[in-house]
Amino acid sequence: MFRLVRSLLLLLGVARAQIPIRCASAANMRAKVCCPAAWQDGSPCGRSSGRGRCQDVAQESGPQGGREHVWDFRLWWPSYFFVRMCVCSGNFAGADCGECQPGWRGTACQEKHVVVRRDLAAMSRRERRIFVDRLHQSKTTLSARYVIYASESDRAGSELVFRQASVYDVAAWIHYLCVKPLGDGNRPSFAHRSSAFLCWHKMYLLYLEAEIRNMTQDDSFFIPVWTWAGKHDCDVCTDDLFGRSGPKGFLSRRSRFSSWRTYCTGDGRHLLDFSVICPPHRGRPIRRFNRPDRRFGGLPTLADVDACLNLQQFDTPPYDQSSPSSFRCALEGFTNPQNPTVVMASMHNMVHIFCGGTLNDVFQATNDPLFPCIHAYVDQIFERWLRRHPNSAELYPTDPGVPYGHRGNDRMVPFLPVVENRHMMRSCITFGYDYED
């Protein structure tokens, strides 16, 4: 088993965790180097034109207590896999430094580019149709940039498998990978239940937007916002948007999304470990119920949003799902924003519970096409909070009690080029997008 896992670690990828085709060769993996030539000048990392250089990867310290969790490659991200990678200069980005950082475009990445994420309710029928078409296209179009690693068996020595996946399914794989628990499963995962929740999902939306823009060659594409606060039902769950739900939760056949199937949902008894990673599985249809839960009620209110925004501390000890008076914990949905010492389902979590079905299973949730729009509103609330705190970059907790993977200088798994959690504690304008007033 250790041999299989170690082989996995040596082959898992680069450039935002998916494996760039040019870095998936046996030679690259043996050398543990991913410094492909930039298409602009043909030199590794675009060095000839000053785009970047191939450099050693700074070693990750890992969690305290040594390498007892060596089987979990996320704890050693990314130095466990690659010792040399492209480090890009200025506004250049990407595995080969052949792209631009978010918020920049042009041949030399010198032109500032800001796209406004709009509310679905403010978009015209034509704009909505274009969005639905492109989101559906991302589900049905194989990624031309990346493949994923997926194991087909938990037997030691089983053949490693690289598999093509659609643009949307690669993104679903990213979230699935971070949901798998750390250690015994009682600690926060890499994307939930602690300080990095908002930062990680901010990066996730940026990634998905960038990949759909690349697929469509439309640099104005954006993930629109579903403003779920203050609603009595899912007003975007119509057949021209995300699909009506039948009595058993299955989407109406008139919906473009009725043909969607979940991805990375066949782990069986290995759901909580890395013996099996996203094995081949046809997946299940998307289900959504859109009804109040008897225990928790309906969707959050506008008063809940206001109360959440009035919380002054970004996060508080013990930096988990019980953190009192914590903006992060309240917005993630573990405490009552109007009484932030009370642990209860609220805000983001309440939306997932209300929608039910696929969205109410954290391992599957990203498979529902509504997921990005739910999180665009979460991110908009996060942005409003950041603008109320001009020193927000200094507010990310530095307490040694912050769980591993959620500390300010921890690298976001599995995004590459490397991004630290605290890097995302800046206004969205920095990353090339904004929200309508």
pLDDT recorded at residue 294: 83
* Band (71; pLDDT cuts 50, 70, 90): low
Question: Residue 261 above 50 pLDDT?
Answer: yes
Q: What is the pLDDT of residues 277-299, one digit of tens each?
A: 888 888 999 999 999 988 888 99
CATH of the domain at 429: 1.10.1280.10
Q: What is the pLDDT of residues 190-219, one digit of tens each?
A: 899 999 999 999 999 999 999 999 999 999
How many angstroms separate the CA atoms of 403 and 412, rounded? 13
Would residue 74 count as lying in a domain?
Answer: no
pTM of the model: 0.91
Q: What is the pLDDT of residues 79-107, one digit of tens each?
A: 777 889 999 999 999 989 999 999 999 99
Question: Residue 185 above 80 pLDDT?
Answer: no
Of the two residues 98 and 153, the one the predictor is more confident about is 98
Least confident span in 66-70, 172-176, 225-229, 299-303: 66-70
Of the two residues 418 and 72, the one the predictor is more confident about is 418
Query: Helix, strand or coil for residue 251?
Result: strand
The domain total for the chain is: 1
Question: Residue 351 above 50 pLDDT?
Answer: yes
Considering the chain, what is the average pLDDT of its residues?
88
Q: What is the mean pLDDT of residues 348-353?
A: 98
Q: What is the mean pLDDT of residues 227-237?
A: 97
Please, are residues 367 and 157 in contact by the beta-carbon 8 Å criterion?
no
How many angstroms separate the CA atoms of 380 and 162, rounded? 36
The percentage of residues in the chain with a pLDDT greater than 70, rounded to a whole number, is: 89
| DSSP-assigned states of every residue in 71-96 | T-GGGGTTTTT-SEEEEE-TTEESTT
Closest alpha carbon to 194 in 420, 397, 417:
397
Would residue 334 count as lying in a domain?
Answer: yes
Would residue 374 count as lying in a domain?
Answer: yes
Q: What is the pLDDT of residues 386-408, one digit of tens each?
A: 999 988 889 999 999 999 889 99
pLDDT recorded at residue 6: 29
The percentage of residues in the chain with a pLDDT greater than 90, rounded to a whole number, is: 69
Residues 366-377: b if buried by 16+ CB within 10 A, e if exposed: bbbbbbbbbbbb
pLDDT recorded at residue 416: 76
Would residue 68 count as lying in a domain?
Answer: no
pLDDT recorded at residue 120: 98
Query: Helix, strand or coil for residue 322?
Result: coil
Q: Which domain holds residue 258?
A: 114-435
* Band (22; pLDDT cuts 50, 70, 90): confident
Question: Residue 12 above 60 pLDDT?
Answer: no
Would residue 143 count as lying in a domain?
Answer: yes
DSSP 104: E
pLDDT recorded at residue 69: 46
Q: What is the pLDDT of residues 126-144, one digit of tens each?
A: 999 999 999 999 999 999 8
Question: Residue 334 above 90 pLDDT?
Answer: yes
